[in-house]
Amino acid sequence: MRHLGLKVRMAVAGTILFAFYMVIATIAWSMTGSIALVAVLSLLLVAGQYKLGKWLAVRSVGAKDLPEDRFADIHRTTERLSDDMDIPKPRLMYAQMGSPNAFAVGRKGSGTVVISTELMQLLDDDELEGVIAHELAHIMNRDVVTMVLGQSVAMLIGWGVYFLVRQVADGIFGWVLAWIASIIANMLVMIFVLVISRVREYAADEDAAYYTGNPEALASALAKLGHVNNQVEETRIDDSVSAMCIFGVQKGLFASLFATHPPIEKRIQRLRQ
């Protein structure tokens, strides 16, 4: 089985995340007395975040449909890879992002891949194929749904901790304590979500290398993206969209702990092994 170790690590992180959700669901059940209500509200939250997040991501970069007559090669490449991965061809869009990048949103049957004009100008055909395959792998593996679910669980846990603390602490002190506890709880769960995010990037790289049969092309593309993006000071890509891009920018003291992507050097090294 391809990338078995990665799948095991993702399963472990997902199991811990689910355990967190069950704790908060149990607390909510004890407060409302209705497990059905808890389940319905949870599903509505996830569905709302998924739909709104997809729309906002595309809108935030001003993406437009990629004309098939002008970019026939990209459409043919995407269609061929989609057939190989046994997924419907996603909607292809392009945007001026201020830096070379690409991201995927949606799931099988309703996916969208957005490619920056800067990326199309930077990469050659084989490298661009590797990037497209990487994004299609995210759709094939339902990574966007997984990440939205994880973020929703983190939010639910933050809310649950807040209300739980408020049950035992009154007044201004109780409000401050509950607020701090909810932030800490949310942050701890998001660490597990970000572990899943980093694992999914490795898996998408491996899937792209497998379906293109050309791991060196994707490694070369990542090297170019790393070199150029590290010199870019400002882009149209906000933090929420950056988490879905093939190249995510993490800077600062806690970059390695809260990074959505593994170090680009490690990704390149794994592809070239």
pTM above 0.85, yes or no: no
Burial 27-65 (b: 16+ CB within 10 A, else e): bbeeeeeeeeebeeebeebbeebbeebbeebbeebebee
Burial 225-264 (b: 16+ CB within 10 A, else e): bbebbeeeeebebeeebbbbbbbbbbeeeeeeeebbbbeb
Please give the sequence-ordered ranges of beta strands (E in DSSP) within 131-198, or none if there are none.
none
Tell me the pairing of strands 91-95 and 102-105. unpaired
Interior angle at CA 256, CA 253 and CA 262, nearest 5? 150
Residue 265: burial class (beta carbons within 10 Å; 0-12, 13-18, 19+) = exposed
pLDDT at site 148: 72
Q: Residue 126: which domain range?
A: 4-272
Cβ atoms of residues 47 and 231 within 8 Å: no
Residue stretches of the chain with pLDDT short of 70: 1-43, 45-51, 53, 233-234, 236, 239-240, 248-259
Closest CA to 152 of 272, 48, 240, 14: 48
- How many domains does the chain fold into? 1
Is 127 considered catalytic here?
A: no
Cβ atoms of residues 74 and 132 within 8 Å: yes
How many other CB atoms are there within 10 angstroms of residue 86's CB atom?
8
Q: Active-site residue among 127, 135, 201, 206?
A: 135
